[in-house]
Amino acid sequence: MLRCAADNPGFLRGANLTAVSALYRHENNRRMVAPSLPTPELAAQYDDWLDTFRSHSTARDAANWAMGDLIADARCKGIGATTTEMAGVLDIARVKLSNSVRIATAFPPGKRDDRLSFEVHAQLSCLPDETRFETLATAVAEGWGERKAKAAAVAYRQERAGFVDEDRETTLAVHIMRAWNRGTPEAREYFNELRQIAGLGIIDEDA
């Protein structure tokens, strides 16, 4: 028989979580309880657990928005605070911080909707201005989740090829890494010498 997560902290993990999740479906913040639940007590226990989980999810979204807003605001004020610097200070992956800034910039305060998760905003953040907010309104009206938002974003890209560059820094870094990986050991050694000389400046291609 299913046991309460409070009695067994390891219960809502792995196969057990999959089994329990099969009894519940969540759409537009509504709970639909399967009729085959063993007892009403178990349903109440799971509802309590789910409410706690959702509260942590809401706090996570708030933290993502806050980090993006703080760095974006610092840049506007000329304070600096690059994502690379902050990643080292906060011990958070630079790509994660960079994405938070990009999403917060695409959906500034007042242009977001608390009824949708940060992940839904993230999927739609790559759409151009003239489409982004209209699509967000549709997402609110239809109660989209992340998967639906991603499908809509991919469909837009396939139909119109209208995506803006999600993260130019990351894109360029990927090109550099791919070039590095294709290079021979000798080519990498030569490049590394030039990189050490140039630091973060321009590398003299004729050296």
Question: pLDDT (tens digit, 9 = 90+) per residue, 163-174?
Answer: 554 556 666 777
Mean pLDDT of the 104-113 span: 94
Domain ranges within the chain, ordered by starting residue: 1-79, 169-198
Residue 21 has pLDDT above 50, yes or no: no
Listed range (6-10, 113-117, 168-172) with the worst mean pLDDT: 6-10
State the alpha helices, DSSP H only, in the chain. 14-21, 40-76, 83-90, 94-106, 118-124, 129-142, 146-160, 168-182, 185-198
Instruction: Give Cα 19 distance to the centre of its chain.
Output: 27
Read off the pLDDT of residues 62-80 as tens digits, 9 standing for 90 and up. Answer: 999 998 898 888 888 888 6
Mean pLDDT of 172-194: 84
Q: Please report the beta strands in the chain, taking only residues with DSSP state E, as ranges in sequence order.
A: 24-27, 30-33
Global pTM value: 0.59
Q: pLDDT at position 206, please?
A: 65
Extract the runs of DSSP E, i.e. beta strands, from 43-201.
Answer: none
